[in-house]
Amino acid sequence: MAKKKIDNSNIENEKGIISLPLEELMGDRFGRYAKYIIQERALPDVRDGLKPVQRRILYAMGDLGLWFDKPYKKSARVVGEVIGKYHPHGDSSIYEAMVRMSQTWKLNMPLIDMQGNNGSIDGDGAAAMRYTEARLAKIAGLLLQDLDKQTVTFAPNFDDSEKEPTVLPAYFPNILTNGSTGIAAGYATNMPPHNLGEIIEAIIALIKTPGTRIDTILAIIKGPDFPTGGIAQGMDGIRDAFITGKGKVILNSKWHEEHGNIVIDEIPYEVVKQDLVRKIGDVIDNNQGLGIREVRDETDRQGLRIVIELADNANVQTVRKFLFKNTPLSVSYNYNNVVIVDKQPKQLGIIPILWAYLEHYKEVTLLKSKFDLNKAEKRIEIVDGLIKVMSVLDEVIAIIRASINRADAIQNLVKSEIGFTEAQATAIVDMRLYRLTSTDIVKLNEEKASLTTQIAYLKLIMNNEDELNKAMIQGLREVKKDYAIPRRTEIVEIVENLEVEFKDTLVEKQFHLWVSKDGYIKAIENNLIAKNEMNTFGRKPNDMWITNAQVSNLDHLLLISNVGTYYSIPLYKVNMSKWREMGMHINTLATMDGNEEIISAFIVSDFAQSTQQILLTTKNGMIKRTPIYDLETKLFTRAFKLMKLVDDDAIVSASLVSSKTRRVVIITQKGYGVRYNIEDVPVQGTSSKGVKAANLKDDFIVAGKPLEDEDDVMILTDRDNYKRLDQNEIAIFLRPKRGMRLFPERKRGQENILVGFVVNNNDVVHILDENDDYKELIINDIRRQMVTSETHDSPIKGIVNASLEKDYIVTNGDVPPESSSSIEDGEAYVSKAAKKAKNQEIREANRGKVTAKITISKDEKAEAEQKINAELPSLSSMLGDISSVLGNFTPQKPKEKPKPKPAKKDDETKNVQLDFDDLFDD
């Protein structure tokens, strides 16, 4: 069945339907909504410091008679009153606003006294409104005082059935005392609480000296004063906030040291204590080396108390700074003093806010005085009439008795010769007979005298600015006397530097570390080693360990990969592993490519003192030395370049060069070996490719190792054979040479070297076979052989890989032999520190210098433009001409030129590329 089509052609003529562009409609509706939430919901009025919902709650409670000295009433009763009469919104928003005004950790001066569970600083919610009871706090009476004296404007409520005040009289500066926070459309406010006594003194200073400057105000109002106390740091931020309405202060917790532990006494404003304790616990869990045993919340009725128990050797100040930096023990508070002024949102500094309140206070005082004056004048008129009656009592009685009714009696008294006013006549008619006694006449005379004095005083206030100021100052001083409290928040001028090296926060811990070829790092507690057997030691299948060392969590781990990069990992970031686990992969801490293998690992305790070097040898025959102190990094999450590799080259050896190193041995796959003096290997930076290590012909290097005097050379071949050589069996040449054979060639089949080591009697070679079994060769059991001797059969078959598990622990201050290699063999080495110092020197030399200024007049510029326009065609025509020319062009094959003979040092010139590495700082 076909769908019925709807005809919309005549929709505009339908009754009650208005056609409007969507953009216009949405803009108009959102504008109305934004205006409403700005003026009537989210932002406080500068005069009484209240949002509409707060004002309505307080007014409704005052209307219900819930004053501070009256019994409590159920909160649900108050919420119902507010919803029904003034605020037709959800009950939860009203109750939440009501609860917040009762919380002592949110407001300096709570406006509501709530009985029952009204939440806690731990972030607990208040009990349901049916369970709690509330009444106005004593100071809230100052906000509502004199509402009945026509001091403020009233407006109809939402259904015109009630009247509500548009602002409260507010006999104390609530806007600054309790602060405010809210988010509207395009506006937000975030005003901190301040000390009531200081605010009142600042207002008095403005009354006495209208031109008071910000410095004077800052001397009176020290800064924010939070109900939770704490320490506010940064006078510059406070000054900015007081001047512009925007500024930033740092809030720190108050603490003290107790028996070597950190005890928190006060926390920053609006920080949830329970969340804070949990975050401190998370920091402890994620940083086991901090030296923190536990964190305890010992808060009770006596006050807040959080104990952070430290280890005996922990540094209190360092740990405190680290915790303050990484937890809400220290937070920033951003001033944003946006308030409603004359129905408009404005961002104000503290002096305009004080003036706005002062103008309101002055207006309320004048309106109150006017009301009291009118009341006093009406009363004294009546008192005069009552006193006058006493002298003509018989005549008054006669007139009243002759009258028909009350109204006639009033009219007869007014028309009589005695001369009563209508108000006096009404009071006389309504007066009881006992008032005619002589005692009452005395009271009337006393009342007249009092009223005369009051009227004179009120007229003086209304007509004399100085008297008005005195009255306001007196009222403010009474408020300060009754309600002011000592400052809770300490103000510190300078923001404390919480920067601390994480390493300094650690308590040193010793443990064993294994590093594997595939990038697994395994940390084991020392006490577990004696309790377990090595045959149950967890390892990734077909992976093998290359390093085993006793280390400290304060050390750094340098990992050298085969692709010419290195990783610098603080060992405190390495988690402890269980005995049977594989350990954590380096990708947990940094990013390692899948084609990378770890060649060597080095333990560094202090980069600045690490003068030893790493000898790097590549498969295609390049070699260099790089100082370890050049490998310090600030980032630990990625790899850094260690050596520039060309084509398919890869690093095959990375070993430690110390002051005891005398020679270097190069071992090739096809069985050749050569020794050089260590001085013959240049020292180069991380961006260099090194120099030629050996003349290779259809061969590549499997090892390039540094030699000390007592070291031997050990090789394993692809035929599962091995051989131990005295290093002196290998000839010393000047680099680069192919060297000599390390064992005789076989007549049948070729025997290639699989791995090569530099060993001594204390070493053990760990071998991985094709069955993934881990076996050992003890060097002390293997005798030395001559170069001319053949390799020995190994008891281990199917050798896949081997490792010494060398513990390359860098010794501070140990200086290797200097390089005697000429600069022609490679670029001259300049350390990173020297480069930075040189660049800094150049920057300092050029500081303040500018290039010569070239001035071109307008006439010269116009003349040049005319010449260009006259001589050149348009850009499009030029592009068209070029395109046509290129389209007709047929390239010819160039004649082959004879290849030039290679230079002697072709290895250094055949691969030419631009190198920008020195321009970047790792």
DSSP 440-459: HHHHHHHHHHHHHHHHHHHH
Instruction: Tell me the pLDDT band of 894, cut-offs 50, 70 and 90.
Output: very low
> Please, what is the average pLDDT of the chain?
87
pTM over 0.75: no
* Shared-domain flag, residues 238 and 290: yes
Contact 635, 589 (CB under 8 A): no
pLDDT of residue 839: 81
Contact 698, 754 (CB under 8 A): no
DSSP E strands in 220-276: the ranges are: 231-233, 246-252, 254-258, 261-266
Q: Determine the average pLDDT of the residues in 311-337.
A: 92
Instruction: Tell me the pLDDT band of 229, cut-offs 50, 70 and 90.
Output: very high
- For a pLDDT cut of 90, what percent of the chain falls above it? 59
Q: How far apart are CA 135 and CA 60, in angstroms?
A: 11
User: Phi, psi (5° rounding) for residue 446?
Assistant: -65, -40
Q: Determine the average pLDDT of the residues in 379-401.
A: 86
| Concatenated DSSP letters of 395-428 | HHHHHHHHSSSHHHHHHHHHHSTT---HHHHHHH
Q: Which residues contact 640 (CB under 8 A, 6 or more apart)?
A: 565, 566, 567, 568, 631, 633, 686, 922
Q: Which two tokens stand for residue 138?
A: 């004593």
Q: Report CA-CA distances (Å) from 29 to 34, 87, 158, 726.
A: 9, 21, 19, 93
* Shared-domain flag, residues 269 and 323: yes
Question: What's the burial of 432, exposed, middle or buried (CB within 10 Å: 0-12/13-18/19+)?
Answer: exposed
Q: How far apart are CA 177 and CA 485, in angstroms?
A: 11
Least confident of 156-165, 494-503, 545-554, 751-760: 494-503
Which has the closest alpha carbon to 516: 534, 537, 543, 542?
543
Contact 222, 234 (CB under 8 A): no
Q: Long-range contacts of range 349-352, CB-CB < 8 Å, 24 or more positions apart?
A: 349/214, 349/241, 349/242, 349/243, 349/244, 349/245, 350/176, 350/202, 350/214, 350/217, 350/221, 350/241, 350/242, 351/206, 351/212, 351/214, 351/217, 351/242
- What pLDDT digit, counting tens, does each position of 402-432 carry? 888 989 888 988 888 888 888 888 888 888 8
- The answer, yes or no, to whether residue 685 has pLDDT greater than 60, is yes
Residue 131 a catalytic site member: yes
Residue written as tokens 């269980």?
Answer: 578
- The answer, yes or no, to whether residue 543 has pLDDT greater than 50, is yes
- The answer, yes or no, to whether residue 644 has pLDDT greater than 50, is yes
- The answer, yes or no, to whether residue 808 has pLDDT greater than 90, is no
Using only the alpha carbons of the chain, give its radius of gyration: 46
- The answer, yes or no, to whether residue 873 has pLDDT greater than 60, is no
Q: Domain end: 821, 850, 879, which one? A: 821
Is the residue at 552 inside a domain? yes
Q: Annotate 624-639 with b (16+ C-beta within 10 A) or e (fewer).
A: bbbbbbbbbbeeeeeb
Q: Annotate 8-43 with b (16+ C-beta within 10 A) or e (fewer).
A: eeeeeeeeeeeeeeeeeeeeeeeeeeeeebbbebbb
Q: Which two tokens stand for residue 28?
A: 């108009």
Is the residue at 247 inside a domain? yes
Q: Domain end: 482, 500, 535, which one? A: 482
Least confident of 328-332, 504-508, 563-567, 904-908: 904-908
* Shared-domain flag, residues 375 and 459: yes
Q: Annotate 195-230 with b (16+ C-beta within 10 A) or e (fewer).
A: bbbbbbbbbbbbbeeeebeeeebbebbbbbbbbbbb
- What pLDDT digit, counting tens, does each position of 75-126 carry? 999 999 999 999 999 999 999 999 999 999 999 999 999 999 999 999 999 9
Q: Report CA-CA distances (Å) from 582 to 520, 558, 802.
A: 7, 20, 19
Q: Report CA-CA distances (Å) from 305 to 236, 253, 297, 547.
A: 31, 11, 6, 47
pLDDT of residue 559: 95
* Shared-domain flag, residues 105 and 139: yes
DSSP E strands in 628-752: the ranges are: 640-641, 651-657, 663-668, 672-677, 691-692, 701-707, 712-717, 721-726, 740-741
Is the residue at 921 inside a domain? no
- The answer, yes or no, to whether residue 654 has pLDDT greater than 90, is yes
DSSP E strands in 75-198: the ranges are: 112-115, 133-136, 154-156, 163-165, 180-183, 188-191
Residue written as tokens 């919340």?
Answer: 297
pLDDT of residue 625: 94
- The answer, yes or no, to whether residue 883 has pLDDT greater than 50, is no
Is the residue at 917 inside a domain? no
- What pLDDT digit, counting tens, does each position of 812-865 carry? 999 999 888 654 455 567 777 777 777 877 877 777 665 555 556 667 777 777
Contact 231, 489 (CB under 8 A): yes
Q: Determine the average pLDDT of the residues in 232-244.
A: 95
Per the residue annotation, which of 131, 357, 672, 829 is the catalytic one?
131
What pairs with residue 757 in β-bridges?
Answer: 714
User: Domain range spanning residue 812?
Assistant: 508-821
CATH label of the domain that carries residue 297 = 3.30.1360.40
Is the residue at 854 inside a domain? no
* Shared-domain flag, residues 366 and 344: no
> Cα angle vertex 195, ends 192, 199, to 5°?
100
Q: How far apart are CA 10 and CA 579, in angstroms?
A: 83
Sheet strands side by side (includes 672-677): 701-707, 663-668, 672-677, 740-741
- The answer, yes or no, to whether residue 461 has pLDDT greater than 50, is yes
Rounded to whole angstroms, the maximal C-alpha distance in the chain is 160
Instruction: Tell me the pLDDT band of 161, cut-offs 50, 70 and 90.
Output: very high
pLDDT of residue 353: 96
Is the residue at 202 inside a domain? yes
- The answer, yes or no, to whether residue 909 has pLDDT greater than 60, is no
pLDDT of residue 3: 54
Least confident of 488-497, 543-552, 710-719, 903-912: 903-912
Q: Which two tokens stand for residue 805?
A: 């598990």
CATH label of the domain that carries residue 542 = 2.120.10.90
Contact 339, 167 (CB under 8 A): no
Which has the closest alpha carbon to 735: 666, 662, 686?
666
How does DSSP classify residue 86? T
pLDDT of residue 870: 60
Listed in sequence order, the DSSP H helices in 257-328 are 273-286, 316-326
* Shared-domain flag, residues 329 and 394: no
Q: Report CA-CA distances (Å) from 642 to 326, 558, 616.
A: 33, 11, 9
- The answer, yes or no, to whether residue 470 has pLDDT greater than 50, is yes
* Shared-domain flag, residues 265 and 155: no
CATH label of the domain that carries residue 441 = 1.10.268.10
Cα first-last separation, the chain = 73
- What pLDDT digit, counting tens, does each position of 50-66 carry? 999 999 999 999 999 99
More confident position, 135 or 912: 135
pLDDT of residue 439: 55
pLDDT of residue 869: 65
- For a pLDDT cut of 70, what percent of the chain falls above it? 89
pLDDT of residue 392: 84
Q: Which two tokens stand for residue 627?
A: 């100082």
- The answer, yes or no, to whether residue 879 has pLDDT greater than 70, is no
Least confident of 531-535, 556-560, 861-865: 861-865
User: Phi, psi (5° rounding) for residue 317?
Assistant: -65, -40
Is the residue at 607 inside a domain? yes
- What pLDDT digit, counting tens, does each position of 600-637 carry? 999 999 998 999 999 999 999 999 999 999 999 988 98
Q: Which two tokens stand for residue 430?
A: 């309504």
* Shared-domain flag, residues 298 and 432: no
Q: How far apart are CA 723 and CA 725, in angstroms?
A: 6
Q: Domain end: 352, 373, 388, which one? A: 352
* Shared-domain flag, residues 207 and 114: no
User: Phi, psi (5° rounding) for residue 572?
Assistant: -70, -15
| Concatenated DSSP letters of 500-558 | --GGGGPPP-EEEEEEETTSEEEEEEHHHHTTS-GGG----TT--EEEEEEEETTSEEE
Q: Which two tokens stand for residue 651?
A: 């690093």
Sign, CA dihedral 396-400-406-407, equals negative
CATH label of the domain that carries residue 119 = 3.90.199.10
Contact 624, 682 (CB under 8 A): yes
- The answer, yes or no, to whether residue 2 has pLDDT greater than 70, is no
pLDDT of residue 512: 93
* Shared-domain flag, residues 328 and 386: no
Residue type for position 19? S
* Shared-domain flag, residues 770 and 635: yes
Q: Report CA-CA distances (Å) from 588 to 425, 519, 584, 642.
A: 97, 10, 7, 21
Q: Nearest 10 degrees: CA dihedral of 884, 887, 889, 892? A: 160
Q: Is-cis flag, bond preceding 169, omega within 30?
A: no
Least confident of 107-116, 193-202, 504-513, 523-532: 504-513
DSSP E strands in 45-129: the ranges are: 73-74, 112-115
Q: Determine the average pLDDT of the residues in 799-823.
A: 85
Backbone angle region of 378, left / alpha / beta, with phi > 0 → left and psi within -120 to 50 → alpha: alpha
Q: How many CB atoms lie within 10 A of CB 275?
A: 13
Q: How far apart are CA 625 and CA 768, in angstroms?
A: 30
Question: What's the burial of 730, exposed, middle or buried (CB within 10 Å: 0-12/13-18/19+)?
Answer: buried
Is the residue at 909 inside a domain? no
pLDDT of residue 885: 45
Q: Determine the average pLDDT of the residues in 554-580.
A: 92
pLDDT of residue 13: 63
Q: How far apart are CA 187 and CA 143, in angstroms?
A: 26
Q: Determine the average pLDDT of the residues in 463-478.
A: 94
* Shared-domain flag, residues 308 and 384: no
Number of domains in the chain: 4
Listed in sequence order, the DSSP H helices in 771-905 are 832-846, 858-871, 875-887
- What pLDDT digit, counting tens, does each position of 692-723 carry? 999 888 899 999 999 999 999 999 999 899 99
